[in-house]
Amino acid sequence: MDNIIISILIGALAGWIASKIMKTGGGIIRNVILGIVGGFVGGLVFGLIGIGANNYLGTIIISVVGACIVIFVAKLITK
């Protein structure tokens, strides 16, 4: 149960940071979803180049990068 709560908190933080970097709006639910999806995408991208996270800071960085990728792709699709 603790891991789920930590994942949601990391997802929320990563989604919020990515929304600030990419200058998009949104509420907490959107940021949590964006951060979780971003964590998955970031994990895939960084995994392909052989980089992994060993701590919470690394996980947040990978999730933020992944969330930025998701936002970028979403902006391309919606234009």
- The DSSP annotation for 45-68 comes to HHHHTT----SHHHHHHHHHHHHH
Query: Quick one: pLDDT at residue 21?
Result: 92
For residue 7, the tally of other CB atoms under 10 A from its CB is 16
Quickly state the pLDDT bin for 30 (edges 50, 70, 90): confident
pTM score of the predicted model: 0.86
pLDDT tens digits, one per residue of 13-29: 998 999 999 988 777 78
Query: Quick one: pLDDT at residue 29?
Result: 84
Contact 63, 35 (CB under 8 A): yes
pLDDT over threshold 80, residue 79? no
pLDDT over threshold 90, residue 35? no
What would the DSSP string read from start to end of 14-54? Answer: HHHHHHHHTT----HHHHHHHHHHHHHHHHHHHHHTT----
pLDDT over threshold 80, residue 10? yes
Q: What is the mean pLDDT of residues 34-41?
A: 87
| Annotated domain spans of the chain | 2-78
